[in-house]
Amino acid sequence: MSDEKKPFHNPFGALAGLKDALPKGEPPKPPPAKVKKAPPKAVVRMERAGRNGKEVTVIEQLELSPKDKEAWLKQLKSSLGCGGALEEGNLVVQGDHRERVAAWLTKQGVKQVSVG
């Protein structure tokens, strides 16, 4: 062939032969997804001391990584429609939401929720 009739340079032209070299059959199965277990227990209490009379709900004894605590706090704040923060490893949400937080934790899979 002359240079005029050759097609342009295709950088992926060599890959066409690899398609036929793949084994036939089912594609490999992905590994099973890891199911994150909820912590076994949590303590929910209302606190007012040292906050100028403002009430907050404190969730303690959650055995989660700091990254998971951040994610749980974000979901909890959006479901309750209130503000909150992480303080010394505890989740703290603004207002007295003890019963609602206990129900939310149970829904997340926490087996034992103590409300005080």
Domain boundaries, the chain: 41-115
Q: What is the DSSP code (8-state) at residue 3?
A: T
Hey, which residues does 45 pair with through a beta bridge?
58
pLDDT in tens, 68-115: 999 999 999 999 999 999 999 999 999 999 999 999 999 988 888 889
Homologous superfamily of the 41-115 domain (CATH): SUI1-like domain (3.30.780.10)
Whether this model's pTM surpasses 0.95: no
Half-sphere exposure of 34 (CA within 13 A, CB side): 3
